[in-house]
Structure 1
Amino acid sequence: MATISKKFIIVVAVLTMGFRYHVNAQDSTENSEGRENTFTDPRDGSVYKTVNIGTQVWFAENFAYLPEVDTVHISVYGYKGNSVKKAKGTESYKKYGALYSWEKANQLAPEGWRLPTDADWMLLETAVGMPKELAVKNGWRGDENSTVALKDKGHSGFDIKFAGWRTDYGDFRFQNEHANFWVADARDNERAYERLIGLNNKKIGREYGNKGCGFSVRYVRDIPVEHHITYPEKEWEMMDDVSEFGWSQDKINQLYRYAIDSTNATGIIVIQSGKMIYDYGDTHELSYIASVRKSLLSMLYGKYVENGTIKLNKTLKELNIDDIGKLSEIEKEATILDILQSKSGVYHPASNPGGNEWLFPERGSKKPGTYFIYNNWDFNVAGYILEQETGKDIYEAFEKDIANKTGFQQWDLSKQRKSGDTSKSKFKAYHFELSTRDMARIGYLMLRKGKWKNEQVIPASWVERMTTITTSYEEMYKVDPRLKDWPWWKWGQGLMWRIWDSPDIAPEFKGAYTATGNQGQYITVFPSMDIVVALKTKAVYGRRTNKEAYERFLNKLIDARK
Structure 2
Amino acid sequence: MRLILGLLLSFVAAVPSRAEPSTHWAKAGETALTQTISRLVKDYAVSEKPTAILVVQGDKIVTSWGDLDRKINMASVRKSLLSALYGIAVTDQRISLTRSLAEMGIDDKEPSLSAAEKQATLRDLLTARSGVYHAAAYETREIKKKRSARDSHAPGTYWFYNNWDFNVLGTIYRKVIGEDIFAGFERRIARPIGMEDFSKRDGRYVLAPESDHPAYPFMLTARDAARFGLLFANGGRWNGKQVIPADWVAESTRAHAHTNRGNRGYGYMWWELSADPWGRGGAYAAGFGGQIIAFLPAKKLVLVQTVDLQANPKGVRTSTTIELMKKIAAALAE
Query: TM-score normalized by structure 1?
Result: 0.55
Q: Aligned to 1:255, what secondary structure does the other structure show?
A: helix
| Structure 2 residue 194 is the aligned partner of structure 1 residue 407 | yes
Q: Residue in 2 aligned with 1:549? A: 320
Distance 1:263 1:226, change over 3 A: farther
Q: Distance in 2 between matches of 1:551 and 1:301?
A: 26
Alignment map for 1:381-400 (pairs within 5 Å): 381-400=168-187
Q: Contact (CA 8 Å) 1:258, 1:553: kept in 2 or not?
A: no
Q: Contact (CA 8 Å) 1:490, 1:500: kept in 2 or not?
A: no
Deviation at 1:492, TM superposition (A): 1.1
Q: Residue in 1 aligned with 2:329? A: 558
Alignment map for 1:54-133 (pairs within 5 Å): none
- The one-letter amino acid paired with 1:399 is E
Q: Residue in 2 aligned with 1:238? A: 27
Report how many residues are paired. Answer: 322
Q: Contact (CA 8 Å) 2:21, 2:58: kept in 1 or not?
A: no
- The one-letter amino acid paired with 1:283 is L
Give a deviation string over 1:73-93, Cα, whole Å, max 9, x none: xxxxxxxxxxxxxxxxxxxxx
Q: Distance in 1 between matches of 2:65 and 2:269?
A: 27
Distance 1:417 1:278, change over 3 A: same
- The one-letter amino acid paired with 1:255 is L
Q: Contact (CA 8 Å) 1:236, 1:275: kept in 2 or not?
A: yes
Q: Contact (CA 8 Å) 1:238, 1:277: kept in 2 or not?
A: yes
Alignment map for 1:306-455 (pairs within 5 Å): 306-325=91-110, 326-354=112-140, 356-421=143-208, 423-455=209-241
Q: Distance in 2 between matches of 1:248 and 1:490?
A: 33
Q: Residue in 1 aligned with 2:264? A: 491
Q: Residue in 2 aligned with 1:508? A: 278
Larger relative CO (CA 8 A, sep 6+): 1 or 2? Answer: 2
Q: Distance in 2 between matches of 1:521 and 1:357?
A: 21
Q: Contact (CA 8 Å) 2:56, 2:301: kept in 1 or not?
A: yes
Deviation at 1:33, TM superposition (A): 9.9
**Unpaired segments ≥5 residues, structure 2:** 1-7
Distance 1:241 1:264, change over 3 A: closer
**Among residues 236, 245, 249, which one is paired with 2:34 in the alignment?**
249
Deviation at 1:511, TM superposition (A): 2.9
Q: Distance in 2 between matches of 1:508 and 1:33?
A: 34
Give a deviation string over 1:364-387, Cα, whole Å, max 9, x none: 121111111100000000011011
Distance 1:495 1:34, change over 3 A: farther
**Among residues 76, 84, 103, which one is paired with 1:299 in the alignment?**
84
Give a deviation string over 1:1-47, Cα, whole Å, max 9, x none: xxxxxxxxxxxxxxxxxxxxxxxxxxxxxxx9999xxxxxxxxxxxx
Q: Distance in 1 between matches of 2:34 and 2:237?
A: 29
Q: Distance in 1 between matches of 2:305 and 2:16?
A: 27
Distance 1:307 1:412, change over 3 A: closer
- The one-letter amino acid paired with 2:132 is V
Q: Contact (CA 8 Å) 1:262, 1:549: kept in 2 or not?
A: no
Give a deviation string over 1:485-506, Cα, whole Å, max 9, x none: xxxx4721000000023xxx85
Q: Residue in 1 aligned with 2:292? A: 522
Q: Residue in 2 aligned with 1:148? A: none
- The one-letter amino acid paired with 1:446 is F
| Structure 2 residue 248 is the aligned partner of structure 1 residue 462 | yes
Q: Contact (CA 8 Å) 1:522, 1:534: kept in 2 or not?
A: yes
Q: Contact (CA 8 Å) 2:53, 2:68: kept in 1 or not?
A: yes
- The one-letter amino acid paired with 2:270 is W
Query: TM-score normalized by structure 2?
Result: 0.90
Identical-residue share of aligned pairs (%): 33
Q: Distance in 1 between matches of 2:152 and 2:45?
A: 47
**Among residues 248, 253, 264, which one is paired with 2:49 in the alignment?**
264
Q: Distance in 1 between matches of 2:292 and 2:15?
A: 27
**Among residues 64, 81, 92, which one is paired with 1:279 in the alignment?**
64
Q: Aligned to 1:428, what secondary structure does the other structure show?
A: strand
Give a deviation string over 1:159-193, Cα, whole Å, max 9, x none: xxxxxxxxxxxxxxxxxxxxxxxxxxxxxxxxxxx
Q: Distance in 2 between matches of 1:333 and 1:552?
A: 39
Q: Aligned to 2:212, what secondary structure does the other structure show?
A: coil
Give a deviation string over 1:331-386, Cα, whole Å, max 9, x none: 00111111111111101010221373333332112111111110000000001101
Q: Distance in 1 between matches of 2:160 and 2:263?
A: 17
Q: Contact (CA 8 Å) 1:357, 1:375: kept in 2 or not?
A: no
Greater share of helix: 2
Q: Distance in 1 between matches of 2:75 and 2:45?
A: 22
- The one-letter amino acid paired with 1:297 is L
- The one-letter amino acid paired with 2:206 is S
Deviation at 1:507, TM superposition (A): 1.6
Q: Aligned to 1:387, what secondary structure does the other structure show?
A: helix
Larger Rg: 1
- The one-letter amino acid paired with 1:417 is R
Q: Contact (CA 8 Å) 2:293, 2:305: kept in 1 or not?
A: yes
Deviation at 1:412, TM superposition (A): 3.0
- The one-letter amino acid paired with 1:513 is A
Q: Contact (CA 8 Å) 1:356, 1:373: kept in 2 or not?
A: no
Q: Contact (CA 8 Å) 1:237, 1:275: kept in 2 or not?
A: yes
Q: Contact (CA 8 Å) 1:335, 1:344: kept in 2 or not?
A: yes
**Unpaired segments ≥5 residues, structure 1:** 1-31, 36-53, 55-224, 478-482, 484-488
Q: Distance in 1 between matches of 2:15 and 2:173?
A: 35
- The one-letter amino acid paired with 1:366 is H
Q: Aligned to 1:318, what secondary structure does the other structure show?
A: helix
Q: Distance in 2 between matches of 1:554 and 1:344?
A: 32
Deviation at 1:551, TM superposition (A): 2.3
Deviation at 1:226, TM superposition (A): 6.5
Alignment map for 1:37-52 (pairs within 5 Å): none
